[in-house]
Amino acid sequence: MQAWHTLLELKDNHNRLGFKGWTFFIVDFPIDVETGEMFYMIGNPTFTGLGVTTGTSSYILNKKQVNELFNVMGKTFKEYAKELEDEYFGRV
């Protein structure tokens, strides 16, 4: 999994993350300063008119949570961002 590359699809409805099928991407890999454990920061890709960035919410999950809650999507962040841009500008 790579930051700003790997897309994740929510497997099922979740009380904090949203609805089944919603798309997220890995934003960063923060490290816990006490334990050294690596986490996954995820966000919703949002097109702002200037490009695709994280939405208003981001979440921190461990590897087990990512694997339990999400499927890795076949397309990349860059491909998805292009789709959002084309849709926004009516090029679909």
- For the beta carbon of residue 62, count every other beta carbon within 10 angstroms: 13
Cut 0.95: pTM above it: no
Is the distance from CB of 68 to CB of 17 less than 8 angstroms? no
Distance CA 92, CA 60 (A): 33
pLDDT tens digits for 5-62?
999 999 999 999 999 999 999 999 999 999 999 999 999 988 887 778 887 889 999 9
Q: Where are the domains of the chain?
A: 6-88
Q: What is the pLDDT of residue 1?
A: 86
Q: What is the pLDDT of residue 46?
A: 82
Q: Which amino acid is at 6?
A: T
Residue recorded with tokens 């890795």 = 72
Q: What is the pLDDT of residue 3?
A: 87
